[in-house]
Structure 1
Amino acid sequence: MSAPTEKNRNVNVITLPGLVNPHDLSSDRQFSMNLARGLEVLRAFSASTPLLGNREIADRTGLAKPTVSRLTYTLTLLGYLARDPKLQKYRLGPGVLSLGHPLLASMQVRQLAKPLMESLARATGCTVNLGIRDRGNVVYIDSVRADSANQHLPDIGTSRPLLLSSIGRALILAYPATERTAILNYLKVQNPQDFEQCRAFWEADVKRFTAYGYCHSQGDWQKDIHAVAVPIRQRPDEPPLAMNCTIAAHRAQKDRLVHEVIPLLKESVHQLEFSQGLH
């Protein structure tokens, strides 16, 4: 068996999922490029673009159109895509939903967090979300929607950019220093312009978190939404989580989030950690 190349050695020491470009792994004999391409096709769909044709998928993924055609044909036969014959376009199929449910059902922290989130939402009038990192985003694994003025309808599976949201920045800060650096480097390489635009938000929250233990978004992601977030301690073998409280901007006057909501949010997170035996 031949010795691994320098590129493969670098790949093998990566511990955080989702921080590599599949095309950088073309020389890794253990890596299935066909599987990676199929998953990239599934990731091309979003809540705002639920219906896509082969050309649109090719544009979004960078894959050749003949490759996309073979993948969408295969994924449709397997139930992961559904084809609209009139529009000749595709949408995600039930198979994708079936893949996600076992993960959510196995996350005990969701069951422990739910009553705490509901109590926090009632006490603050905020929408409360529980999030985990997925590549360069935070994805919500649970949500209690209490703020009816929030028009962005957070829900399970909703994603937000890591650097542009308080919960995303709290998640980055939950990682050890080496892994935190890897995430920041990934974000910088993926989109240098967005990284520079978010740098001030990140640096301000690093100082805020160091001094006060929370992150704060004052319309960073959406101008009409303010939010505060706190990371949740997890065991070393589990990915970090974070919880946030979001509220319509017009209801966040007089530093209400900082003075009234943050203490309650921190207490909820403390109780969640305690219930998992982390205190």
Structure 2
Amino acid sequence: MLDPQTTTDKPQGAAASLLNGLTVLEAFSVAKRSLLGVTEISELVGLHKSTVSRMLTGLDEAGYVQRDDDTGRYRLGLGMIGLAGPLLAELGVRRAALPHLEELTEATAETAAIAVWNGTNAIVVEQVASPHQVKHSAAIGTRYNKFASSSVRVFLAELPPEETDRLLAGRIVLQEGYRGLEDPAHRQLAGVRDHGFAVNDGETTYEEYGVSAPVRDYRGAVVGCITASAPRSRVQHQQSQSILRDAVLQAAERVSVRLGSRPGEATPVH
């Protein structure tokens, strides 16, 4: 049960109403359900049903909740997005990712980076280099447009088929000539979507091993890509590859959560 005020000096008047309203909104997060009734919220927050009903009426009028006409229950409204918009805009991908890149490098001792997509290239916007003397790294601002790059494949996998087709036919570099929608590249991208990550096992340069996973925002859209890079000689064994992959997936999920995404959330490819 949520406790809107546990101290002896309880807020009065407008302050109490504001705290009660915020507590009602928090109930949706606590319950982890999209639709809640007045009684359910009352039990969760410890407020009388009449108080909860009055709060919900005001929040509905303001657009912060929405009443379902069929069930009479409430869900969070679109007004919440507008309220959180400035915070979400301020919490940029690069800033959100940096502490998790540091954790990724600390856990794996390999280079961790995040890239964004500019429509034709994956661009490195932040990096934490491996402490090893022998390592793979790239300067911030480095652009990748080779299909063999794991980060490029992560971004391409999220695009509509017609857009992917256009890029593969022109701006994206393939090792062999592009053969249209029947090209094996499309099957590889389907695998990236299914598995949630892409691997570059010596495909760009023989000695490089890289694994990438998408970062999603509050809409479920891919807004970045976490990559860990290492010399292949250090990750030759399957166990090492699995450890690196799992660490990248975990880092990508943590950054996604900071950006408002829910675990497992994705935007369908049209």
Of 165, 169, 176 in structure 2, the residue corresponding to residue 184 of structure 1 is 165
- CA deviation string 1:20-47 (max 9, x = no partner): xxxxxxxxxxxxxxxxxxxxxxxxxxxx
Residue 262 of structure 1 pairs with residue 248 of structure 2: no
- 1:196 to 1:235, Cα distance in 2 relative to 1, 3 A: farther
Q: Identity, % of aligned pairs? A: 16
Instruction: Identify the residue that residue 115 of structure 2 maps to in structure 1.
Output: 131
Q: Secondary structure at the residue paired with 1:240? A: strand
Tell me how far 1:238 sits from its aligned partner. 7.2
In the alignment, is the contact (CA less than 8 A) between 1:136 and 1:162 conserved in 2? no
In the alignment, is the contact (CA less than 8 A) between 1:129 and 1:243 conserved in 2? yes
Of 110, 121, 124 in structure 1, the residue corresponding to residue 105 of structure 2 is 121
Instruction: Give the whole-Å Cα distance in 1 for the aligned partners of 2:114 and 2:93.
Output: 10
Instruction: Give the whole-Å Cα distance in 2 for the aligned partners of 1:196 and 1:257.
Output: 33
Residue 150 of structure 1 pairs with residue 131 of structure 2: no
Instruction: Identify the residue that residue 144 of structure 2 maps to in structure 1.
Output: 160
Q: Which has the larger radius of gyration?
A: 2
- 1:251 to 1:205, Cα distance in 2 relative to 1, 3 A: farther
Aligned length: 170
Instruction: Identify the residue that residue 236 of structure 2 maps to in structure 1.
Output: 253
- 1:130 to 1:192, Cα distance in 2 relative to 1, 3 A: closer
Q: Secondary structure at the residue paired with 2:190? A: helix
Tell me how far 1:268 sits from its aligned partner. 1.2
- 1:141 to 1:191, Cα distance in 2 relative to 1, 3 A: closer
Instruction: Give the whole-Å Cα distance in 2 for the aligned partners of 1:110 and 1:207.
Output: 27
Paired residues for 1:190-209 under 5 Å? 190=171, 194=175, 196=177, 200=184, 203-209=187-193
Q: Secondary structure at the residue paired with 1:174? A: coil
Instruction: Identify the residue that residue 258 of structure 2 maps to in structure 1.
Output: 275
- 1:197 to 1:253, Cα distance in 2 relative to 1, 3 A: farther
Instruction: Give the whole-Å Cα distance in 1 for the aligned partners of 2:101 and 2:174.
Output: 35
Tell me how far 1:155 sits from its aligned partner. 1.9
Of 231, 245, 258 in structure 1, the residue corresponding to residue 214 of structure 2 is 231
| 4+ residue runs over 6 A deviation | none
Residue 242 of structure 1 pairs with residue 225 of structure 2: yes
Q: Secondary structure at the residue paired with 1:123? A: helix
- 1:107 to 1:204, Cα distance in 2 relative to 1, 3 A: same
Instruction: Give the whole-Å Cα distance in 2 for the aligned partners of 1:113 and 1:191.
Output: 26
Tell me how far 1:224 sits from its aligned partner. 0.8
Instruction: Give the whole-Å Cα distance in 1 for the aligned partners of 2:122 and 2:128.
Output: 16
Q: Secondary structure at the residue paired with 1:274? A: helix
- 1:168 to 1:220, Cα distance in 2 relative to 1, 3 A: same
Structure 1 stretch displaced more, 166-175 or 120-129? 166-175
Instruction: Give the whole-Å Cα distance in 2 for the aligned partners of 1:237 and 1:209.
Output: 14
Instruction: Give the whole-Å Cα distance in 1 for the aligned partners of 2:260 and 2:178.
Output: 39
In structure 2, give the amino acid aligned to 1:126. Answer: E
Instruction: Identify the residue that residue 30 of structure 2 maps to in structure 1.
Output: none
Residue segments in structure 1 that go unaligned for 5+ positions in a row: 1-104
- 1:156 to 1:256, Cα distance in 2 relative to 1, 3 A: farther
Instruction: Identify the residue that residue 39 of structure 1 maps to in structure 2.
Output: none
Of 95, 112, 115 in structure 2, the residue corresponding to residue 111 of structure 1 is 95
Paired residues for 1:31-180 under 5 Å? 108-146=92-130, 147-150=132-135, 153-175=137-159, 178=160, 180=161
Tell me how far 1:106 sits from its aligned partner. 6.6
Structure 1 stretch displaced more, 156-165 or 234-243? 234-243
Structure with the largest fraction of helix = 1
Instruction: Give the whole-Å Cα distance in 2 for the aligned partners of 1:162 and 1:106.
Output: 31
CA RMSD, 1 decimal:
2.9
Structure 1 stretch displaced more, 197-206 or 228-237? 197-206
